[in-house]
Every structure is written in C-alpha cells, then in structure tokens.
Amino acid sequence: MDEVGREVRRLREERGWNQAKLAVEAGMAPSAVNQIENGKRSPSAASLTKLAEALEVGVADLFPKAGRRSSPEPPLFDGVLEDERRLQWLRTWEEFMQHAGMRWHARLKEHEERGLPIEPAWAEELAELHLELGLAVIHGLLPNWEESLAPERERNVMHAIARTLRYLGEVSNEAAHKVQTPENAERYKQRQAELQQTADEIQARLAG
C-alpha cells in the first residue's frame, strides 16, 4: 500500500497541510495517518473514505494505476514480496467496494422499513460512486493486466472485485428505481446505460 500512502502525502502537501491537520480533518489519529503515508499500515475501507473526504477527492483518486505490465517498462510490482503487497492492495479495493455496497443497502433498507422515501440525492450519489469505481477499475486496475499471466490468488481477487462492483450496481439500480419519475426517467436511463457500458467493459476484460 506504499503507493496509496504516497498519493495521500502528495494530496496533503498540495494543500499545505501537515499530518496533524489531515488527521483532524479526517477524524483519525495522527499516528494512523503517519503509518499509512509511510506504508507501514494498510488503510481500511473506512479510513480510505475519511481520507478521501478530507482531501476532497474520490476514493479512486487515492489509488494510482497499477496494471501488470507486459512492456519493457520496469514493473511496479516485482518479486514475491511485491506480489503479496499487490494482492493486499487489491483486497483493500474489494473491501472498500463491499463496505460501500453493504452500507448503502442497509441505508436504503432502513428507510424502506420506516416508510420513508428515498432521497433523490442518494440515488445520484450512489450512481456517481458506482461509475467512479467502475472507471477506476478500468483505468487503474486493468490496463496491461493479463489474466493468464496473473497468479491465481490475484485472478480470484480481481473477479471478486468485479462481482462486488456488480452488487454495488444492483444497489444503485434499486435506489434509482425508487426515485424515478416521468420527469427524470430519461436522465436515469442515460445514466444506467453509461453504468452498464462500464460493467460490460470490465466483464469483457476479465473474460478475455
């Protein structure tokens, strides 16, 4: 997770913040921020969310591109240790997506059980998250990634990420359906087509 830590540091320094300031804004302990930035601690899904919100970026922006290269360019991950670190990095992606899908599902279910309407802003936020993560998978995880060259555990995690993203899409579709009206039907139809295109591209890359 060194790459995420370096990106957190870069974004923090762009704002002219020290680690203590970021810790306050993110509601985290300064020691936790320090450990994440120095690659001594893998951030949880909750920590990634807090850091992204404090830095006013998407969670996907904290993850640099890390596709397995097939070109002569030096690989980002090299050797057994680096493969283990990459696997841990991918599992953090999966954990974050699972956390997001389960949190939103629980939120929608609670409102439904209480007989409360779903806020249209929620559906918009969820659709934006789904699209952002889908594009992050395409442009951040899959470039130059060859399934046939990847270790079995890495392939399994990549497929788990795709399944988790599909689950998040199902939750997003559920929210969109609950707030859809004749006035906004066309807009939601366009958004769903965009999300489906992203999902199809991920599926095609993994199937290929």
In single-letter form, the type of residue at position 46 comes to A
Q: Give the per-residue pLDDT at 21.
A: 93
Q: What is the pLDDT of residues 49-73, one digit of tens each?
A: 889 899 998 877 787 654 443 333 3
**In the predicted structure, residue 18 carries a pLDDT above the cut 80:** yes
Q: Give the per-residue pLDDT at 77.
A: 42
Rounded Cα distance between 186 and 193, Å, is 11
Given 3-state DSSP classes, what are the helix, strand and coil percentages for the chain, each rounded to the nearest 5? 75, 0, 25
- Domains and their CATH numbers in the chain: 1-64 (1.10.260.40), 74-208 (no CATH)
Banded model confidence at residue 182, pLDDT cuts 50, 70, 90: confident
Percent of the chain with pLDDT over 70: 88
Closest CA to 170 of 130, 111, 113: 130
In single-letter form, the type of residue at position 21 comes to K
Can you give the pTM of this predicted structure?
Answer: 0.66
Quick check: 36 and 110 in contact, CB under 8 A? no
Q: Give the per-residue pLDDT at 79.
A: 53
Q: Dihedral sign, CA of 148, 149, 153, 156?
A: negative
Q: Give the per-residue pLDDT at 15.
A: 93
Q: Which of the two residues, 116 and 43, has the higher pLDDT score?
A: 116
Q: Give the per-residue pLDDT at 17.
A: 94
Quick check: 94 and 161 in contact, CB under 8 A? yes
Least confident of 21-25, 74-78, 131-135: 74-78
DSSP letter for 142, please.
S
Mean pLDDT of the chain: 80
Helices 30-37 and 45-55: crossing angle in degrees, nearest 10, is 100
Quick check: 198 and 135 in contact, CB under 8 A? yes
What are the distances in angstroms from CA 142 to CA 10, 28, 185, 188?
24, 31, 32, 27
Element (H, E) at 123: helix 120-136
Rounded Cα distance between 191 and 174, Å, is 13
- For the ranges 125-129, 167-171, 192-196, the maximum mean pLDDT occurs at 167-171
Rounded Cα distance between 16 and 123, Å, is 34
